[in-house]
């Protein structure tokens, strides 16, 4: 299962209309969070680090990344849904791609599944490159195996379709998939993404990183001087992978060339592949045809969202405990000044121990007090949202009473002191 790590001190609980549930990953400039919008849709939110957000150059680059990402046709990539680039913490919201990464799945691919996976990555690269975007970090960790087929995540922005390693100070995060020209000071352009495609297809068929060695220097030597063993690949894929892994970037096919060849190979093999008028096909029909092939990949996808986890826990309770669940959860939320449900710590009714046990991981308790682990749960779990909406007036009144009670008690205490003083004759 792909699990987001818990939020840490300093992480926001909410950004705009999104409730953050956990960390999916972090890098030098920002963090990617699992989050939920107001209707419970799970999304990914990429946020600049606090100090990075105050850097005008990084903000400007982040804005260009968002603009470039919006241009990418959302075939086998995560589409951009929203962005706020002017607030104190700039962020980009994109579709959440369910499922494990290619590396995390631990699956060896062959036959039609390998062909469909190779096609999916070629679709994503064609969409990116047509939009003027270079991934610059494509590895098996950036290919996700979702319910609707594979998708490529984590793409960045490359000004002018190319970034020199030596000029920008970038360092390859996964050396086995870094093109030779990048190691020698050349551009990490579209051809470098195609090189990574070849390496990833070979990884999918073998389970081994193609140029792996004990040190960065040894990896560089292999990439610059040796050709990998392509025997794990079926014959139709070998020439494409060999061309993609050519040392000279000018000898490599484009991502579009790869996609057209893969669709043609599927047609020649008798697969039910949508027809295109290759090689002169317009991009969108070509991407759509490739995406239909990609959707045939079948793999385990155990990546439930918070709502699915909560609903599963609710269904597992016996009927008597299910009846207690609303009373427990409605104690653990309040309605804030913006009218939004916010998690809080509160006492829980007696006899709720089995409910708390059933929701372990979603609700934590200490003695007779409990709290929601994730602030996003009222957004993510439709059943809880229905309970909150049905009891909104009571929750608002309860919160208003809770706010008024301390000052009323203070006033009552003053009156009591005054009355006592009058009774004692100290005040005439």
User: What element of type H or E holds 341?
Assistant: strand 341-343
Residue 318 shares a structural domain with residue 231: no
Judging by DSSP bridges, how do beta strands 80-84 and 30-36 pair with one another? unpaired
Q: Are residues 133 and 153 in the same domain?
A: yes
Picking from 294, 320, 342, the residue at the C-terminal end of a domain is 294
What is the DSSP code string of 124-164?
HHHHHHHTT---S---GGGEEEETTEEEE------GGG--B
Same domain, 123 and 66: no
**Contact at 8 Å (CB) between 249 and 179?**
yes
Q: Is the pLDDT of residue 3 over 50?
A: yes
Residues 260 and 208 grouped into a single domain: yes
Would you say 130 and 283 are in contact if contact means Cβ atoms under 8 Å apart? yes
Mean pLDDT of the residues in the chain? 82
Distance separating alpha carbons of residues 238 and 206, to the nearest angstrom:
13
- The percentage of the chain sitting over the pLDDT mark of 70, rounded to a whole number, equals 81
Exposure string of 106-133, with b = 16+ CB inside 10 Å and e = fewer, is: ebebeebbbbbbbbbbbbbbbbbbbbeb
Query: What proportions of the chain, in percent to the nearest 5, are helix, strand and coil?
Result: 45, 15, 40
47 with 62, same domain: the answer is yes
Q: Are residues 68 and 117 in the same domain?
A: no
pLDDT digits 0-9 by tens, 10-51: 888 889 889 998 888 776 678 889 999 988 899 999 888 765
Q: What are phi and psi of 425, to 5 degrees?
A: 80, 10
Whether residues 206 and 268 fall in one domain: yes
When mean pLDDT is compared across 169-178, 216-225, 240-249, 289-298, the lowest value belongs to 169-178
| Neighbouring residues of 181: CB distance < 8 A, sequence distance ≥ 6 | 187, 188, 191, 192, 249
Q: Domain for residue 164, yes or no?
A: yes
Lowest average pLDDT, out of 169-173, 208-212, 399-403, goes to: 169-173
Q: Is residue 403 part of a domain?
A: no
For residue 113, name the pLDDT band (cuts at 50, 70, 90): very high
How many alpha carbons fall within 13 Å on the CB side of residue 101? 16
pLDDT at 407 > cutoff 70: no
Instruction: For the full predicted model, state whether its pTM sits above 0.85.
Output: no
pLDDT for 277: 46
Looking at the predicted structure, is the pLDDT value of residue 92 above 50? yes
d(CA 24, CA 273): 35
Q: Where are the beta strands (DSSP E) in 50-103?
A: 80-84, 91-95
Same-domain check for residues 326 and 352: yes
Residue 43 lies in a domain: yes
> What whole-number distance in Å separates Cα of residue 236 and Cα of residue 52?
46
Calpha distance 199→248 (Å, rounded) = 15
pLDDT of residue 269: 54
Contacts of 168 by beta carbon, 8 Å cutoff, 6+ apart: none
Q: What is the pLDDT of residue 330?
A: 92
User: What sign results for the dihedral spanned by CA atoms 166, 168, 170, 175?
Assistant: negative
Closest CA to 251 of 181, 155, 172: 181
Is 426 part of a structural domain of the chain? no
> Considering the domain boundaries, does residue 428 fall inside one?
no
Return the pLDDT at 211.
93
Residues paired with residue 334 on neighbouring β-strands, in sequence order: 342
- Residue 424 pLDDT: 66
Tell me the pLDDT tens digit for each residue of 318-377. Answer: 999 999 999 999 999 888 877 888 888 988 888 888 999 999 989 998 888 999 988 899
The sheet carrying 363-366 orders its strands as 346-347, 369-372, 363-366
At 23 the pLDDT is: 87
Does a cis peptide bond (omega within 30 degrees of 0) precede residue 279? yes
pLDDT given for residue 53 in this prediction: 56
User: Two tokens at 131?
Assistant: 């939009």
Range of the domain at 358: 306-390
CATH number of the domain within which 80 lies: 3.30.200.20
CATH number at residue 122: 1.10.510.10
Contact 12, 31 (CB under 8 A): no
Residue 218 has pLDDT above 60, yes or no: yes
Within a domain: 20: yes
What sign does the dihedral 160-164-168-170 (CA atoms) show? positive
> Cα separation of 316 and 308, whole Å?
12
The total of structural domains in the chain comes to: 3
pLDDT at 122 > cutoff 70: yes
Q: Give, in order, the Cα–Cα distances in Å from 119 to each of 87, 114, 147, 198, 201.
A: 39, 8, 16, 12, 10
Q: Which residues contact 96 (CB under 8 A, 6 or more apart)?
A: 34, 42, 43, 44, 78, 305
pLDDT digits (tens, 9 = 90+) for 236-295: 999 999 999 999 999 999 999 999 999 988 765 555 444 444 444 467 888 888 888 888
């Amino acid at each position: 299962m792909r699990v987001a790590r818990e939020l840490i001190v300093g992480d926001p609980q909410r950004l705009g209309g999104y409730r953050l549930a956990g960390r999916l990953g972090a890098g030098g400039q920002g963090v990617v969070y699992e989050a939920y919008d107001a209707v419970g849709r799970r999304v990914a939110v990429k946020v600049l680090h606090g100090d990075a957000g105050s850097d005008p150059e990084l903000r400007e680059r982040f804005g260009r990344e968002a603009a470039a990402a919006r241009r990418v046709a959302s075939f086998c990539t995560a589409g951009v849904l929203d962005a706020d680039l002017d607030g104190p913490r700039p962020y980009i919201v994109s579709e959440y791609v369910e499922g494990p990464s290619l590396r995390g799945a631990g699956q060896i691919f062959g036959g039609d599944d390998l062909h469909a996976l190779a096609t999916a990555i070629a679709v994503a690269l064609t969409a990116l490159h047509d939009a003027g975007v270079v991934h610059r970090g494509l590895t098996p960790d950036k290919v996700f195996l979702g319910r609707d087929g594979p998708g490529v995540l984590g793409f960045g922005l490359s000004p002018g379709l190319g970034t020199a390693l030596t000029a920008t100070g970038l360092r390859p995060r996964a050396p086995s998939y870094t093109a030779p020209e990048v190691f020698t000071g050349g551009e990490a352009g579209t051809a470098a993404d195609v090189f990574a495609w070849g390496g990833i297809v070979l990884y999918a068929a073998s389970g081994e990183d193609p140029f792996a060695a004990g040190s960065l220097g040894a990896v560089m030597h292999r990439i610059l001087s040796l050709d990998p063993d392509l025997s794990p690949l079926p014959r139709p894929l070998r020439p494409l992978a060999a061309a993609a892994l050519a040392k000279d970037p000018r000898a490599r096919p484009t991502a579009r060339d790869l996609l057209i060849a893969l669709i043609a190979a599927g047609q020649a093999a008798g697969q039910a592949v949508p027809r295109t008028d290759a090689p002169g096909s317009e991009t969108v029909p070509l991407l759509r045809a490739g995406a239909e092939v990609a959707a045939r990949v079948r793999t385990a996808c155990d990546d439930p969202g918070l709502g699915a986890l909560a609903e599963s826990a609710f269904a597992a309770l016996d009927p008597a405990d299910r009846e207690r669940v609303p009373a427990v959860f409605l104690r653990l939320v309040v309605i804030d000044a913006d009218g939004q449900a916010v998690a809080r710590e509160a006492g829980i009714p007696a006899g709720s121990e089995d409910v708390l046990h059933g929701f372990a991981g979603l609700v934590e308790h200490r003695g007779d007090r409990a709290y929601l682990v994730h602030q996003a749960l009222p957004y993510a779990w439709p059943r809880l949202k229905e309970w909150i909406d049905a009891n909104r007036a009571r929750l608002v009144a309860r919160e208003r009473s809770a706010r008024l009670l301390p000052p009323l008690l203070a006033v009552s205490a003053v009156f009591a002191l005054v009355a006592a003083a009058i009774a004692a004759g100290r005040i005439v």
